[in-house]
Amino acid sequence: MDAKKYLEEAQVDAILIYNGSNEDLNFYYFTRLLYGGIFEGSFAVITEDGVKVITSKLEEQSARKGKNEVFVYSSSSEREELLKKIVGNAERIGLNYDSLSLRDFHKLRDILGDREYVNVAEKIMEWRMVKDDEELNLMREAAKIASEVADSIPDFLVEGMREYELAARIAYEMFKMGAEDVAFTSIVAFGENAAEPHYLSGERKLKRGDFVLCDFGARYHHYNSDITRTFVFGRASEEQREIYYTVLEAQKLGISLVKDGAHGSEIDARVKELIDSTKYKGRMIHSTGHGLGLAVHDHVGLSTQRDLVLREGMVVTVEPGIYLPGYGGVRIEDDVLVRKEGREVLTSARKDELIEA
């Protein structure tokens, strides 16, 4: 979409994105400066004639590799002058209220004076939800890195290792494959710790018969993947197998329902219905999935709490789980691109058989 169209749809004269006290991921969305540079304290200004970047000398070289007009400052007063000049006499200014700190807002208002400031956060998220080819290619690579590492996890398991050691190994392997960062702090949970969906890796040592739940992702040029695989270290019990295959069936059902026009809330309901029809009724304690992109929890996804009509180009996770406190749990998660006729699963790690490592 061109700059004019953005402004028309948001009904503003300019959109001002400040990568200030808080990192604003929209800065990368509009500028596509995805291949280098931190851009701390930088502005992206969307005006009728394009996206303009105001940045410091620290990332001038990176900024000039992009397609935007670049303005470089060497002092804060120069930055303010540039901002005033570029915003010009725009009256209605769109801001991202979800990221801009109150302090930064006051600072901006001091510089630009009394104008009409409008929250365009939701509008931008609407645009961000549908990914274009450049974004999808980066997400495919992020998914490939995480998938290959997920497939190698059984080879990394050693009796007595601690959860944080496995988390470190997963991160190391992803960096070695070109990830610029982990997408989020990895969740590595052994045994009973797998019963907590948002557990963080700790000191628990790996024992025979443990569940090994690994939920992690790669960040590749600002775009994320998010995958979960659950294994058993040693021989699995009947109960462990039953939990695993119940989750697998629910996850496959969820994936099969993803397509253009489907309602996220219905997919969540159908997945939970399946789990609730087994002896694990009520043990799936989160929604089926979320949107994925520049942020890991990018936007609403597959949830009965808030509906989303899926559209071609959106990427959502499908990640049902069963959690039994004191015993353990299983989650299986993939990243799924919505297609006109169906879907493309971006993550590819093995899951069809419970792996006894």
Site for ligand GLY in 224-283 (CB under 6 A): 226
Other C-beta atoms closer than 10 Å to the C-beta of 109 total 13
**Nearest distance in Å: CB 228, Mn ion:** 5
- Distance CA(65)–CA(149), nearest Å, equals 31
Residue 215 engages Mn ion in binding (rule: CB under 5 A): yes
Q: Which of 333, 336, 351, 355 binds ligand GLY (CB under 6 A)?
A: 333
CA 12 to chain centre: 28
CA 145 to chain centre: 15
- Distance CA(59)–CA(217), nearest Å, equals 27
Residue 201 engages Mn ion in binding (rule: CB under 5 A): no
Side chain identity at 290, as an amino acid letter?
Answer: H
Q: Which of 13, 298, 319, 334 binds ligand GLY (CB under 6 A)?
A: 319
Residue 295 engages ligand GLY in binding (rule: CB under 6 A): no
Residue 215 engages ligand GLY in binding (rule: CB under 6 A): yes
**Nearest distance in Å: CB 126, ligand GLY:** 21
Burial of 293 (0-12, 13-18, 19+ CB in 10 A): buried
- Distance CA(133)–CA(92), nearest Å, equals 31
**Nearest distance in Å: CB 253, Mn ion:** 17
Site for Mn ion in 314-343 (CB under 5 A): 317, 333
Please say which residue, 120 or 218, places its beta carbon nearer to Mn ion.
218
Residue 251 engages Mn ion in binding (rule: CB under 5 A): no
Structure token digits, residue 254:
């969820």
Contacts of 9 (CB under 8 A, 6+ apart): 1, 123, 127
CA 220 to chain centre: 11
CB 192 within 8 A of CB 326: yes
**Nearest distance in Å: CB 217, ligand GLY:** 7
Residue 226 engages Mn ion in binding (rule: CB under 5 A): yes
Pairing of strands 69-73, 50-56: parallel
Please say which residue, 117 or 223, places its beta carbon nearer to ligand GLY.
223
Q: Which stretch binds Mn ion (CB under 5 A): 43-51, 74-82, 215-223, 231-239?
A: 215-223
Give me the residues that bind ligand GLY (CB under 6 A), please.
Answer: 184, 215, 226, 290, 319, 333
Give me the residues that bind Mn ion (CB under 5 A), please.
Answer: 215, 226, 317, 333
